[in-house]
Structure 1
Amino acid sequence: MGPSGGTEHLDVRREGATLVLTLNRPEAKNALSLPLLVGLHDGWLEADEDDTIRSVVLTGAGGDFCAGMDLKALAGKGMEGEQYRDRLKADPDLHWKAMLRHHRPRKPVIAAVEGYCVAGGTEILQGTDIRVAGESATFGLFEVKRGLFPIGGSTVRLQRQIPRTHALEMLLTGRPYTAAEAASIGLIGQVVPDGTALDKALAIAEQINACGPLAVEAVKASVYETADLSEEDGLKSELERGWPIFATDDAKEGARAFAEKRVPVYRRV
């Protein structure tokens, strides 16, 4: 299964075993449009369904990640891509899945952020697993400054991902955050020189792709499944996810390759 065609606002390409999804509406700082949301939705499904894809990198074109929802469209100016309206009618949840509010991809998702990553951009960010940003990137949840509510999941997720005092400050002030500050509160993992976030994300993806895919997917699932459990229940859940991995051919191949001092060849079995 090859990469899908994406849409006019969402580019899809392969880099080895990594699917790269690029928000491509640079004239609007990649603000969310219907074609962009449909493309994202289909990209996540492609990654889930294609076993040759081992990781996903999400980035933006033109030096920005995503400036959030298109406020002009929200004000009644019309949404581009009316030809996709039937997709929304068929699945009224499509936009929430696209924004990773109601969908968690089973493959690791790495965000490569440059420029603006604000409002809906910061909300999508919270659905990704690993986050890298250029040093001039800007983050923030600006909704309250516009009299709006960050309904993409931020009042729930942000306090689970960073300390509550920082989450509330970001949510209630609507102020911008630098990449350095975002890293200091744990919203992103690494700050890199401007223009290199995608390269760094692809390098991390390559490290993930070299690992056993069944193990990687089980580890990711276990982390999220146990996040809100007691330690006792979480440890039980971990065994249920983890023990079957030891019985796979891939686990045996990993041990053999180590003993034989060679690169393992994993076959997802």
Structure 2
Amino acid sequence: MAAPAHGTEHLTVRRAGATLVITLDRPEARNALSLPMLVGLHDAWLAADADEAVRSVVLTGAGGAFCSGMDLKALADRGRPAGDAYRDRLAADPDLHWKAMLRHHRPRKPVIAAVEGPCVAGGTEILQGTDIRVAGRGAVFGLFEVRRGLFPIGGSTVRLPRQIPRTHALEMLLTGRPYTAAEALRIGLIGQVVPDGTALERALETAELINANAPLAVEAVKASVYDTAGLDEPEALALELERGWPVFATADAKEGARAFAEKRPPVFRRA
């Protein structure tokens, strides 16, 4: 059973209808990743998948920032009393931080990123694990690791070239320079740019559009997109049939057709 998503001192979790809103909440550090934040993220992803009433997830940051990457000092700080419990969690599951950053975990429900301000280093790496991305005009993206003699080990050398053209991926990875929201949109890293301060609002609007659809169909479509990535076309199309045909046999599929014929909104029951 997944741990309940109660949040931590660096992460808040709330429900907005059928959407779980996860907020990185350490604005004084531009939401740099800390151990309490990573533990909270890990538990929130699992809770979202375990709760059938949740149909989508929005990930955002507090205080006009998304995430400025890993806070190595905070992770190394053993003087904080609250840190011991979190370190016990990490010791029990050494993969926890990778799951939290969506490197070793793919949520079953659609995840929408609502980005304001800096979304750099580990922030850009988490972003690559989300499905739909909305950013304010003033958002900044980038993978700065090579500038510090480090490696973007959160998955960027693998995922980024699969999500945007390789030449743009290599430029971002090798130069370590910042990218504006307009540039990120142009190269396909994000899907929408909105006025500053409205990214969360737009993300929630997008989530509502998803929530109105049949959840079994939504989750099967998402799974098919990811499961067929990298396969040759015949193999991918065969796998698509395996994912898609069972959806037609669901009660929700029958309800969708019936609602269309009766000219009313469908009532989907995940059945």
Which residue is equivalent to 1:198? 200
Q: Is the 8 A contact 2:35 2:74 kept in 1?
A: no
Which residue is equivalent to 2:60? 59
Which residue is equivalent to 1:125? 127
- Distance in 1 (CA, whole Å) between partners of 2:79 and 2:107 is 27
* Residue 160 (str. 1) matches residue 147 (str. 2): no
Deviations 1:24-82 (A, max 9, x none): 000000000000000000000001100000000000000000000014346x5558541
- Distance in 1 (CA, whole Å) between partners of 2:50 and 2:35 is 23
Matches for 1:56-135 after TM superposition, within 5 Å: 56-73=57-74, 76=76, 78=78, 81-82=82-83, 83-135=85-137
Aligned residue identity for 2:241: L
TM-score (norm 2): 0.96
Which residue is equivalent to 2:8? 7
SS in structure 2 at match of 1:127: coil
TM-score (norm 1): 0.97
- Distance in 2 (CA, whole Å) between partners of 1:265 and 1:247 is 16
Which residue is equivalent to 1:187? 189
Q: Is the 8 A contact 2:146 2:175 kept in 1?
A: yes
* Residue 149 (str. 1) matches residue 151 (str. 2): yes
Gapped runs of 5+ residues in structure 1? Answer: none
Deviations 1:116-170 (A, max 9, x none): 0000000000000000000000000000001100000000000000000000000
Deviations 1:154-194 (A, max 9, x none): 00000000000000000000000000000000000000000
Q: CA deviation at 1:196?
A: 0.2
SS in structure 1 at match of 2:13: strand
Q: Is the 8 A contact 1:110 1:201 kept in 2?
A: yes
Which residue is equivalent to 1:37? 38
Q: Is the 8 A contact 2:5 2:40 kept in 1?
A: no
Gapped runs of 5+ residues in structure 2? Answer: none
Q: Is the 8 A contact 1:133 1:192 kept in 2?
A: yes
Which residue is equivalent to 1:46? 47
What fraction of aligned residue pairs are identical, expressed as a percent? 80
Which residue is equivalent to 1:174? 176
- Distance in 2 (CA, whole Å) between partners of 1:253 and 1:246 is 11
- Distance in 1 (CA, whole Å) between partners of 2:79 and 2:253 is 49
Aligned residue identity for 1:137: A
Q: Is the 8 A contact 1:73 1:79 kept in 2?
A: no
SS in structure 2 at match of 1:35: helix
- Distance in 2 (CA, whole Å) between partners of 1:175 and 1:79 is 34
Matches for 1:247-266 after TM superposition, within 5 Å: 247-266=249-268
Q: Is the 8 A contact 2:14 2:21 kept in 1?
A: yes
Aligned residue identity for 2:160: L
Count of equivalent residues = 267
Q: CA deviation at 1:5?
A: 1.7
Regions of 4+ moved over 3 Å: 76-81
